[in-house]
A = this chain, B = another copy of it.
Amino acid sequence: MGRTSDARDRILAAAQSLIESRGYSALGVAEICKAAGVPKGSFYYFFESKEALALAVIDEHWSRQRRDWSAVLDGDGEPLDRLRRLFEITEAAQRAGQQTCGTVSGCLFGNLTLELSNQAETIRVRLQEIFDAQVDMVEAVVAQAGERGEVDVPDTRDAARSLVAQLEGQVLFAKLFNNTGRLDALWANCLALLGARPRQEAPARS
């Protein structure tokens, strides 16, 4: 990730906040610098372009999110409990964002996928890598649950992709309706998509 400094961190934090609230295309470098409290010359010292900044924001966000996902998914607990924790931390993060900003800001990667993936090839490739990595992490847990006979899926990769797709879809509606309650369905839907038998939460499907 190269050099770091207080100014660089301030630019990254301001850019992430602005991208989350207003999208990428609508932003100008001058506005980002103003929000970060740094002169425009500093910007180009750290980033060669607005696109380079977007990639750095994406990498920074994924670095934090991967650590959070890993702490939950790579633990020692029961596989399905770990998956449930993933949805809980997702809902908690969206709720925290809503309390800070007044609106649910959604998933930075999903937002940029729909805004930019057909325009900026470097950003598309980075987002593909990140979502593939998310699917890898989820798939490992699905496979562990499969080995224990707790889920019934024909293909663990497809199943993991469907779980991440359901997550992105529900986060989209949480953002549109500014309602984190839309995320309440994630766990039951995860069980359904995995052909899993719910344990305590609901009576077993006959």
Contact = CB atoms under 8 A, between A and B. Distances in A.
Interface of A: 21-23, 25-26, 103, 105-106, 110-111, 113-119, 124, 127-128, 131, 152, 154, 158, 161-162, 164-170, 172-173, 175-177, 182, 185, 189, 192-193, 195, 202, 205
Contact of A114 (B26, B115, B154): B115
A interface majority secondary structure: helix
A88 to B, nearest CB: 18
Given A168-B172, A172-B168, A176-B113, A205 B152 contact: yes
A204 B151 CA distance: 15
Contact of A127 (B113, B119, B176): B176
Contacts of A202: 154
Nearest to A154: B202
A168 B192 CA distance: 18
Contact of A193 (B164, B193, B205): B193
